[in-house]
Amino acid sequence: MNKKDGNKKPGTARTSGRPNSNKPKPALPKRAQGPKKDKPTTEGRPAARGAAKPVKKATAPKQSKNPDEIRLNKYIANSGACSRRDADIYIQSGAVKVNGVPVTEMGYKVKPGDVVNFDGATITPERKEYILLNKPKNFTTAGEDDAEMRNVLDLVRMATTVKLKPVGRMDKNTTGLLLFTNDNDLITKFAAANQKSHKIYQVSLDKNLKFEDLEKISNGVTLDEHRLYVDEISYIEGQAKTEIGIKLRTANVKVVRAIFEAFKYNVLKVDRVAFAGLTKKNLPRGNWRFLTEQEVINLRNM
């Protein structure tokens, strides 16, 4: 009798219910290795041989640019009515008309001779400009026909090609901040008697200002039967009591002089150090700068 398991030859396997066989099983045939097929994709699929090449979409020819035409939103912004972004909102809302017809098309171009109506008012494309000058002494806002005095416009003449006007008046002895613009609405606004923006002046007197006179001025002054209210008045810290700071709402420098002259003081110098939130920071005497967009917005909202 054959021994169980002990006489099993190496290389043979025992299977349940089948007789043992000493013959090795034939090896399975190897599969042929071909090139890997690309998975089907919606984009970038390899083109089949003989297939027609995809036809490129035809592009519309570029329109010729007319240098005399200007986009509607830029036209509005150049007029000073608002920014380009806000102009787009007005256009979409139908508040802009060209030649009497509402225009809501973005990118619409205005042609020479077109009449543009913005929110009920006709506007012009001239860009509104705003320049702040730190005026030196011996320049005046008087008419240019006065040959004896140098005009402040000479100081900003090279800044722009548009015709500017000063906001308010300054005599030759007054120094400090003076605003120039071609925005007639803003000029009219700051010339109004009820204008509420503040101006700060540093005044130099011929003698010390008495404390009791300072208190009287702080309570208001009557000039030519008109009551003038003073927002603030004080001695300038670290300087003689001839140097006074006064905060008013008037842009009329003559009024500043008249206040102190009413109390028998001679005014030697007036320097406007702040005008409607604008200051002389980084603006030396005789220099000028353009206002920022935010500064212009602030002036319009006053």
pLDDT confidence of residue 11: 47
pLDDT confidence of residue 168: 87
Among 148, 110, 261, 273, smallest CA distance to 198 is for 273
98 CB neighbour count, 10 Å cutoff: 18
Among 164, 172, 187, smallest CA distance to 141 is for 172
Tell me the one-letter amino acid at 56: K
pLDDT confidence of residue 281: 92
Mean pLDDT per block of 10 residues along the chain (302 residues) reads: 48 47 56 53 53 50 64 84 87 94 93 91 84 94 66 91 88 94 86 85 97 95 88 96 94 90 96 95 95 92 84
Q: Catalytic pick from 145, 171, 213, 271?
A: 171
pLDDT confidence of residue 188: 85
What is the C-alpha separation between 195 and 251, in angstroms, rounded? 9
**119 an active-site residue?**
no
What is the C-alpha separation between 222 and 246, in angstroms, rounded? 16
Among 173, 222, 164, smallest CA distance to 201 is for 173
pLDDT confidence of residue 27: 58
Q: Could you tell me the two tokens for 93?
A: 């809302």
